Structure 1
Amino acid sequence: MPNTPPRRSRKVLLGIAALVVLAVIAFFWLSPAKKTEYLTATVQRTNLENAVLATGVLQALRQVEVGAQVSGQLKSLKVALGQTVKKGDWLAEIDPVISQNTLAQEQAKLENLQAQKLAKEVRIKQAELTWARQREMLAQDAAPRQDMESADAELRALRADGVSLEAQIRQQKLAMASAQTNLSYTRIVAPIDGDVVSISTLEGQTVVAAFQVPTLMKLADLSTMTVKAQVSEADVVRVKAGLPVYFTILGDPDKRYHGTLRAVQPSPEKINNAVFFNALFDVPNPDRTLRVDMTAQVTILLGEAKQALTVPLTALGARDKDGRQEVRVLKPDQSVEKRQVRVGISNNFQAQVLEGLKEGDTVITGDASALDPASSGEGGGNRGKRR
């Protein structure tokens, strides 16, 4: 029968095709399902801070610019840069010759007026005697009334001159006191206890105090320092007086200096078109480690929790109307359990867990497949982000 071979060939081909289809179905049916991989983190205890970070500058709590109130040549400096002085110590001297001469002139003027007063008193005494004699003679009709009137006018005029001299003497005493004060200003003394942190005028230079007080040096009490922290306008609404604060300096970043926020200045400063508000606090500096104009890395604590249960912020879901947030917990059998947790303080990376989790729980922070190069199409660019 000539048609038998082709029919057998078709049957063989159909059988082979059926076997291939069955093999493919069996492969996908019997192959284990691909497991979902997660990025996870362990709930652990750690110290947590919710803080505002700022950069600050150190200044002395008490700082005085010592100036000169009289003009003249700076004759001598009695202190050196960095020297510690007490209130009343002699700092510098301006040439006192001009002030001494002025005082001597005012003294001479006062003595002249006092001599004129003595002479005037003698003339007044003589006029009083003349007036008394003319009165007696007028009573006895031994002299005309005109002589009595002349004696009375002379006495009144001399007494008026005496009053004028008294006023001039008082005025001259004030001028002399001013000259004495100006002479004392040539001796510059320390107004406070402190250290000499800068000297701006050297011996031999001439200072002119006609329009403004020239600065000779600057004294600072370094026993207590003030930190002026620049807080951004985005953070200043959360900052208020009384908050705990600490800072570190560049030379010793491991040591913290603690204080309490004293005030937040209401007027801002603009730096490169950015708005900052100065937050002020004071710290003791008994060993003089801190210096004027040092840079401080400031941390203003809004909240703090010691050994708190914490989870990454990426593990937290949306917040419900009761304030709780959803967290997915990966159990030991690799199943996923959803829990509602209540959180406390948080920073930019972690949050405090108050209810809903315990130490050692594994929480899901993301899906590892999102970082798979094959699915992301970014090659190996995201591989380094897996934790």
Structure 2
Amino acid sequence: MPMSRFRPRYLLPAVIALAIGAYAIKTWVLPAPANTGLLTAEVRKADIEQTVIATGTLEAFKQVSVGAQVSGQITRLHVDFGDQVKQGDPIAEIDSLTRQNDLANAKASLANVRAQRAVQAATLKKVQLAFARQKAMLAQNASSREDYENAEADLDTAKAQVAALDAQIQQAQIQVSTAEVDLGYTRITAPIDGTVVGVVVKEGQTVNSAQSAPTIVKVAQLDQMTVRAEISEADVVNLKPGLPVYFTILGEPGKRYNATLRMIEPAPDSINTSDSGTSSSSTSSSTDTAVYYIGVFDVPNPDGKLRIAMTTEVNIVLDSAKGVPSLPVSALGTANRDGSYTVRVLKGGKVEPRDIRTGLENSINAQVLDGLQVGDKVVLGDAAAGSSTTVRMRGGPMRL
């Protein structure tokens, strides 16, 4: 065919026909790869944390129940929910008329005893002079021994009466001081700087402090919060103060709040409600109930987002590793006797078993210490036959 008569439109159908033929040969003549349908996971670098998970509750770093130490009617309430108070600010006032009367009576009693003491002091001076005369006269044989002894007895009596009145004055002064303190209790002030988080009474309400101090308001410092986390007895043995902690709240599940574990209470909260004695019934019931110990840590709260009684999801970090080779824990299965794991690795179109050793692990990934490299593909299961992934639980592996 002459070159001048060649057209591109004749070339395109030939190329399409050639491609269709090649696809048919590849599909129907060549065997399928051996790894068709296998589910794999690639070994990649990841950050792994080994943590203990606990549920906690937010509390104020410091909270005080401000109570009434005297009985009476609340005549005025100076604060309401959410008010900011400084130490010494007025909180409430209780009807003080009765306490004012008590103070006036105590002062009157004190004045009375002091007057009696003044009279007795004059008497003492008189008998002192009489005794001095009798003593001088006895020395000159101008008086009898009996008169001298009577004068001496009168002097001793007058001194004793003055001493008794001095003691009564001290007692009366104590009564005045007590009455002044009771009068001061009718004016209730804030014991700390903080926020009013609870108002228990209302104006006009009568409170009775005969048995216990009734609470008027509750004041809390909210610029710093405390988390009390419940830690199971299986995990608490691995923890110690100083470990890093982070937690989230329900309203902001994506935001982490970081802190440091301050302490772990030595006994569970149930000790505050249980009897001090141990009986057979309490012992048997305790074995059927989960035991939790309280871990305590503090966190700053400058913006006030953290509130009292919020629920927290707490993670206490036992150890961590950053940027280490890792693979899904679902690829591990059951550990061998030496602590290693046997996994299936896809390499060059073939699947081969390989023993590996792991380090830190969480609920998702496990750190690879030996046996695999970044980029290796580990077989998880067969998609065509149904997944045979093994999920490792705390009590042992479970097939899915």
**Aligned residues of 1:312 and 1:365 also touching (Cα < 8 A):** no
Residue pairs, 1:224-373, within 5 angstroms = 224-269=224-269, 273-316=289-332, 319=335, 323-331=339-347, 333-368=348-383, 370-371=385-386
Secondary structure at the residue paired with 2:237? helix
Of stretches 250-259 and 299-308 in structure 1, the one that deviates more from structure 2 is 299-308
Change (3 A) 1:62 1:33: closer
Q: Which runs of structure 2 are paired with 1:1-387 in the superposition (5 Å)? A: 35=34, 38-269=38-269, 273-316=289-332, 319=335, 323-331=339-347, 333-368=348-383, 370-371=385-386
Structure 2 spans left out of the alignment, 5+ residues: 1-28, 271-285, 389-398
User: Given that residues 67 and 216 in structure 1 are in contact (C-alpha distance below 8 angstroms), is that contact kept between their aligned partners in structure 2?
Assistant: yes
Structure of higher CA gyration radius: 1
Distance 2:374 2:139 in 1: 124
Separation of aligned partners in 2, 1:144 and 1:35: 141
What's 2:282 paired with? Answer: none
Letter in 1 for 2:204: G
SS in 2 for 1:305: strand
State the Cα deviation string for residues 212-255 of structure 1 (Å, max 9, x = none): 11111111000110001112223222222211111111111111
Alpha carbons 1:45, 1:359 under 8 Å: kept: yes
- The answer to whether the 8 Å contact 1:269/1:275 transfers is no
Q: What secondary structure sits across from 1:274 in the alignment?
A: coil
Q: Distance in 2 between matches of 1:314 and 1:255?
A: 28
Asked if 2 retains the 8 angstrom alpha-carbon contact of 1:56 and 1:230, the reply is yes
Question: Structure 1 pair 172/260, CA: closer, same or farther in 2 (3 Å)?
Answer: same
Secondary structure of the residue aligned to 1:112 is helix
**Partner deviation per Cα, 1:150-180 (whole Å, 9 max, x = no partner):** 2221111111101111111111111111111
Counterpart Cα distance in 1 of 2:193 and 2:386: 64
Q: By how many angstroms is 1:355 displaced? A: 2.7
Q: Is the 8 A contact 1:87 1:189 kept in 2?
A: yes
- 1:235 counterpart SS class: helix
Percent of residue pairs identical: 48
The alpha-carbon deviation at position 48 of structure 1 amounts to: 2.1
1:125 offset after TM fit, Å? 0.9
Q: Counterpart of 2:234 in 1: which secondary structure?
A: coil
State the TM-score, normalized to the length of structure 1: 0.82
- TM-score normalised by structure 2 residue count: 0.80
Moved more, 162-171 or 347-356: 347-356
For the residue of structure 2 that corresponds to 1:238, the secondary structure is coil
Counterpart of 1:358, as a letter, is Q
How far apart in 1 are the matches of 2:250 and 2:335?
A: 40
- Which deviates more, 226-235 or 362-371? 362-371
Give the superposition deviation at 1:370: 4.9
Count of residue correspondences: 345
Once superposed, what is the RMSD of the aligned Cα atoms?
A: 2.6
The alpha-carbon deviation at position 304 of structure 1 amounts to 2.0
Match of 1:234, SS state, is helix
SS in 2 for 1:213: coil
Query: Residues of 2 paired with 1:34 and 1:62: CA distance?
Result: 68
Q: Is the 8 A contact 2:381 2:387 kept in 1?
A: no
Query: Partner amino acid for 1:326?
Result: T
Given that 1:314 and 1:366 are in contact with CA atoms closer than 8 Å, whether structure 2 keeps it comes out as: no
Residue 181 of structure 1, CA deviation: 1.1
Q: Distance in 2 between matches of 1:140 and 1:239?
A: 95
Q: Give the Cα separation in 2 of the matches to 1:312 and 1:81.
A: 51
Q: Relative to 1, partners in 2 of residues 1:147 and 1:269: Cα closer, same or farther, differing over 3 Å?
A: closer
The alpha-carbon deviation at position 372 of structure 1 amounts to 8.1
SS at 2:303 equivalent: coil
Q: In structure 1, what is the Cα distance between the partners aligned to 2:116 and 2:341?
A: 99
Per-residue Cα deviation, 1:63-91 (whole angstroms, up to 9, x for no partner): 11111111111111111110111111111
Shift of 1:34: 9.8
Alpha-carbon distance in 1 for matches of 2:387, 2:196: 65
Q: 1:360 to 1:33 in 2, by over 3 A?
A: closer
Q: Which residue of 2 aligns with 1:24?
A: none
What corresponds to 2:396 in structure 1?
A: none
State the distance in 2 between where 1:123 and 1:269 align: 68
